[in-house]
Chain A
Amino acid sequence: MPTQTRRQSFEARQRKRANMIAAASTFAVLAAIVLLVPLAPGWENVKRSFFNGAVFAKTFPGLLNAFVMDVAIFLWCAPLIAALGLIVAIARDLRSPALYPVRLLAIAYTDVFRGLPVILVIYLIGFGIPGLGLPRPWNSPYIWGSLALILVYSAYVAEVIRSGIESIHDSQRNAALSLGLSGGDTMRYVILPQAVRRVVPANMNLFIALQKDVALLSFIGPVEIFRQAGVYKSLMANFTPYVGAALIFLALTIPATRYADYLMNKQSKARS
Chain B
Amino acid sequence: MTTEKSNMIEFRDVHKYYGDYHALRGINATIRAGEFFSLLGPSGCGKTTLLRTIAGFEDISSGAVMIDGKNMANVPANVRPTNMVFQSYAIFPHLTVEENVGFGLRRDPRSKEEKAMAVAEALEMVGLKGYGKRAAHALSGGQRQRVALARALILKPKVLLLDEPLSALDKKMREQMQVELIKLQRQVGITFILVTHDQEEALVMSDRIAVMFEGQIAQLADPETLYRRPASRKVADFIGTMNFLPAQILSDSGATVEVEAAGFGRMSLSPDQVMGSPSAEGATIGLRPETLTILFEGQAATDREVLGTVEEVVYYGDMTYYDVKLDGASSPMRLSMRNVPGRPVLDRGAKARLGWSPGAVVLFR
Q: Do A and B bind each other?
A: no
Using CB atoms and an 8 Å cutoff, list the residues of chain B in contact with chain A.
none
Which A residues are closer than 8 A to B by beta carbons?
Answer: none
